[in-house]
Chain A
Amino acid sequence: MKERDIQVTVNGRNAKKRIEARMLLSDFIRHELGLTGTHVGCENGVCGACTILVDGTAVRSCCTLAVQTEGCHIETIESLGRVNKLSPLQQAFWEKHGLQCGFCTPGMLMIMTELLRQNPNPDRAQIRERLNDNLCRCTGYEDIISSVERAVELMRAERGVQ
């Protein structure tokens, strides 16, 4: 199998590896770098559980080859807050019960991270529109919407906006 060297920045750290050219980005992140927070649900681009940010853009890592991200900045769930210092988005999901099994959650947090960077004050319709990219089988989505609305509030408070 053809191998290639790859160098990327993952969550602010440099990662250099020699991998098979055909390796999926999801497998690279999970199994080569050990960042297992990113999940794989369908492997064909439908569920969004595998969503991460590549140079700030939400990407299905199951449908991307790792080598395509050569030189890119990758952000995964592990780049958000920590257990004892959750980010506002994570905190909001906690408060509003935006997760049950937690399997879709990393993908949900990453698409919403992208949305909130693009638009810090999304309305409900805009949240729903973006949320429609991903599947959750547990929550029925409503509590995820409430979580994102709550995150908007928390982030406004953090910025000192009234």
Chain B
Amino acid sequence: MAQAGKIHSPPKGRQKESADQNLKIIGTRMKRKEDPRFLTGNGRFIDDVSLPHMAHAAALRSPHAHARIRSIDKKAAEALPGVLAVITGEEAALETGPLPCFANPPVEQRCIALGKVRHVGEPVVLVVAETRYIAEDAAALVKVEYDILPAISDMLDALNSSGDAVLHPSRGPSNIAEHRKYTFGAVDEEFANAAHIVKRRLRWARSGGQPIETCGAVANFDEGSGKFTIYANTSMYNYIGFTIAASLNVESHQLNIIPMDAGGSFGSKLFLHKVPVLAATAARIVGRPVKYVEDRVDNMMACDNHGSDRIYDAELAIDSSNHMTALRYRVIDDYGAYLQYGLGTHGNGFSQTVGPYRIRAVGAEIIAVLTNKCQQGACRGFGSEVTNFMIERMVDAAVSELKLDPVQFRYDNFIQPEEFPYQIPTGNLYDSGNYPGALKMALGMLDYQGWRRKQQEARAEGRYIGIGLASCQEKGVFSATEFWMLNREKGFALTSSPESVSIKIDTNGKAVISLHAPHWGNSPETVATMVLAEQLTLDPKDIAITYSDTDHGLPGTGPGGSRYTVMVTGAVAGAARILKEKLKRVAGHMLETSPHDLEFSNGRVSIKGIPGSGKTIAEVAMQSHMFRLSFPDDDLTSGLDANYTYDHPLATLPKSESDFGIFYPIMGHMCHMPVVEVDPKTGQVKILDYVAVHDCGTMINPMTVDGHVRGGTAQGIGTALYEEFQYDPNGQLRNASFYDYLMPRVAEMPDKIRIGHIITPSPYTEYGVKGAGEGGRMVAPPALAAAIEDALRPFNVKIDTLPATPARIRTLVRAAENQRG
């Protein structure tokens, strides 16, 4: 059992570059390395790939949520000129196996439905043709007969379903995929001793990343070598790409995945499995390269990456001095038709399940159900955004039930700056933070008292203004150790989640950094360039970036879990250390001096303290590459290159199911304070002001951090107010288009998100960097829920369900008015 509190003998870290040094490039708002190509239409996205003799695939989507496939008549489709193949699930399965699944026991999923469809939009047939137009024409000619099975659309129905309503009978006679209980700390005791217990039922609806680019792949199968080449906009190909090879029934060295620029992901392209396997399966069958790019409907119905969909029954224990002591919840999570990551989205939440507060014990009961919907995957926050919503809603519930002040209650319950590193009851560690400082900054920036006055004045005029407040954690840098702890049977208990770079300095002193993970809208090129330029005092213009494929890939877990900036910084710093040592050795020979007397300044290897002395890096590089015989015959080799693999900066093995060890310790923090006006007659919410204070430790580039804060907050606004995949009782997705699935446009955004930064560098990462990728979406929803609730205080409504759409708000207001009579 993990004891919550300050850790007095903290684990030793491996930090080599401290945060308190004079930095020249890190910390500047350098313009992004990535941008010029995107600004001129030279990005390379998956649909831009065109191979000689390439054919095109389109999927026939299931119109039913749950049905047995009785027969498929493909004659008319096959007869259409230009059609190369019409592939059924049975035909695909002759050579292609189940898709990767990380739950144990697994839930079998096929790239093309085999025997049964389990959600609307699931591919039933894949048509390959000379053009996409012909493929879609032919798909429309395929006749499929179905025997309809009962569809499970409501997660509560899934708790009691049986017989034909069971999605995966081979996995047991019910739709409850997992039912697990976890106890961290003395939960029952804390509740028995509590002075107050606050209870709430909370509902978080399913939404999704919905990047503007869908998922796609172009695959080729080389009969001669038996090898697949797949271009795709996926991440994690250098981490678990071998599982795609396993699906395709080839050896891992017979698959090369080439990453493309991803037009946004927000988690949804964390690890594509179905799309690349579809394209590859088709390529092997038709013997030509095949492109399969989802259209928007495919993506919305079947991207395998819908977000969390949960009902919480939560209880919070508070002692007589208004300190929160324990949190207990039962959560039902609707995972949809498959379970690719097991309960990973709940394990993720365990990393910060007490929020920024000194809660000593946590009890969690997790019920994962399967329903006839698109399966869940990753969506900015990976489940922890819902944990944050739950914690903050419970805090606000306590504040309103006990008639306390929301600001003071948080101050009284925060983990204090001097208590780090701090262990939470699940065993995870928070490395550093200053939560009261962030709140104080937010209050000041917002002019909290000023808005409270304006709120009073507005009330007098019959207008409803509300001020929201949420103080949330942004866990950064996941370690894989937590994933399998959630599995009923542990299975493949991996503990690595590294990141690598390869750096080569060429004959002329120019550097090329190979990244082993893709670009998906973050700024990997900018970050790697800035760190290397800092290390070697190179001009950023002299650094180029490439992306390795799996053939040349070193261990790379890729962006996800707000880890990439931290990890790639560590990898570049590590590779730079190797390069610097060699540069100094070579320069030492050239200058007939000891390497210990040399340092780097302004692109030179110079004598310590004498800037402008010594040799330029280009001169040393030339010697290093071309003049081997100028050097004594020691173990110096020609060239200047380094590979470096940076492992997780601080992770420990799980000890038990009540102590997960350290798995997500690089802890960012955010305090958001929106001000909204709610029209109780229409239910419309308008954001009048918005302050966002973030702590992501040392910032490599404050400009891109701010970009993430704004973009993440926009998605959080969408999640809070608009976005929801709406399935009807028959499992039909009612809003599978951008017309119907509402995402924020600029009109839904406040004029400005006012950003503040508090900086508590991590003692464990290079330069003290923390993650910042998921931020805004992990805090805006509870902040807006609080603001709306505050605005509607005269009606005494509770915002316990998101999104708080106008219709939902109207329903609450109407009920309140009816009650009042």
Residues of A within 8 A of B (CB): 1, 20, 22-23, 27, 30-31, 35-44, 46-47, 49, 76-78, 80-83, 86, 90, 93-95, 97, 99-106, 109, 124, 128, 131-132, 134-145
Please tell me if the beta carbons of A43 and B261 are within 8 angstroms of each other in the complex. no
Q: In the assembled complex, which residues on chain A have CB atoms less than 8 Å from the CB atom of B263?
A: 39, 41, 101-104
Q: Do residues B707 and A139 form an inter-chain contact, with CB atoms below 8 A?
A: yes
Q: Are B261 and A102 in contact (CB under 8 A)?
A: yes
By CB atoms of chain A within 10 A, which of B35, B47, B738, B749 has the most? Answer: B35
With a cutoff of 8 Å between Cβ atoms, the chain A residues found around residue B296 in the complex are 41-44
Cβ 8 A contact of A101, one of B50, B210, B211, B751 = B211
Q: How far is the CB of A130 from chain B (nearest CB, A)?
A: 9
**Measured CA separation A144–B334 after assembly (Å):** 36
Q: A139 to B747, alpha carbons, bound, how many Å? A: 14
Q: In the complex, which residue of chain B has the Cβ closest to the Cβ of A82?
A: B40
Binds A, one of B449-457, B628-636, B709-717: B709-717
Closest A residue to B44 using CB positions: A36
Which A residue sits closest to B740, measured CB to CB? A46
Contact yes or no, A97 B703, CB < 8 A: yes
Mind listing 19 A-B residue pairs with CB under 8 Å?
A36-B47, A39-B47, A46-B737, A46-B739, A80-B39, A81-B40, A94-B31, A99-B38, A101-B263, A102-B37, A102-B39, A103-B43, A106-B41, A135-B212, A135-B738, A135-B743, A135-B745, A137-B711, A139-B711
Among residues of B, the one whose C-beta sits closest to the C-beta of A138 is: B711
Instruction: Assess the A128–B40 pair: CB atoms within 8 A.
Output: no
Q: Which 3 pairs across A and B sit closest by C-beta, in order of nearness? A: A37-B41, A102-B38, A103-B263
A97 to B30, CA, bound (A): 10
Task: Judge if B411 is at the interface, Cβ distance under 8 Å.
Answer: no
Determine whether B520 belongs to the interface, using a CB cutoff of 8 Å to chain A: yes
**Which A residue sits closest to B776, measured CB to CB?**
A140
How far, in whole Å, are A145 and B212 apart by their CA atoms in the complex? 19
Q: A102 to B266, alpha carbons, bound, how many Å?
A: 14
Does residue B795 face the partner (Cβ distance < 8 Å to A)?
no
Min distance, Cβ A138 to any Cβ of chain B, angstroms: 5
Closest CB of chain B to A21's CB: distance in Å?
A: 11
A100 touches B711 (CB 8 A): yes
B59 nearest CB across to chain A (Å): 15
Contact between A39 and B35, CB atoms less than 8 A apart? no
Interface size grouping (class) on chain B: 35 or more
Within B680-711, the residues touching A (CB, 8 Å) are 703-704, 706-708, 710-711
B48 adjacent to A44 (CB under 8 Å): no
18 more A-B residue pairs beyond the given contacts A30-B47, A103-B264, with a C-beta to C-beta distance below 8 A: A1-B133, A77-B41, A81-B40, A86-B36, A93-B35, A97-B32, A100-B522, A101-B261, A101-B264, A102-B34, A103-B43, A104-B212, A132-B745, A132-B746, A138-B264, A139-B707, A140-B710, A141-B746
Chain A residues whose C-beta falls within 8 Å of the C-beta of B41 in the assembled complex: 35-38, 76-78, 106
B738 touches A40 (CB 8 A): no
Give the chain B neighbours of A39 by CB distance below 8 A. 45, 47, 212-213, 263
**What residues of A have a CB within 8 angstroms of the CB of B50 in the complex?**
31
CA distance A101 to B521 in the complex (A): 3
Question: Shortest beta-carbon distance, A34 to chain B, in Å?
Answer: 8
Q: Are B213 and A41 in contact (CB under 8 A)?
A: yes
B817 in the interface (beta carbon within 8 A)? no
- Taken together as a complex, chains A and B put the C-alpha atoms of A102 and B265 apart, in Å, by 12
Residue of B nearest to A1 (CB): B133
Nearest-neighbour CB distance to chain B for A114, whole angstroms, equals: 16
Distance in Å from the Cβ of B585 to the closest Cβ of chain A? 37
Q: How far is the CA of A143 from the CA of B702 in the complex (A)?
A: 13
A140 in contact with B266 given A95-B31, A97-B32, A101-B521 (CB within 8 Å): no
Whether the pair B738, A83 counts as a contact (CB closer than 8 A) is no
Please give me the residue from chain B that is nearest to A31 by CB atom: B50
Distance, CA A113 to CA B396, complexed state (A): 47
Question: For residue A76, which residue of chain B has the nearest CB?
Answer: B41
Contact of A97 with B707 in the complex, beta carbons under 8 Å = yes
B710 CB contacts on chain A under 8 angstroms: 139-143
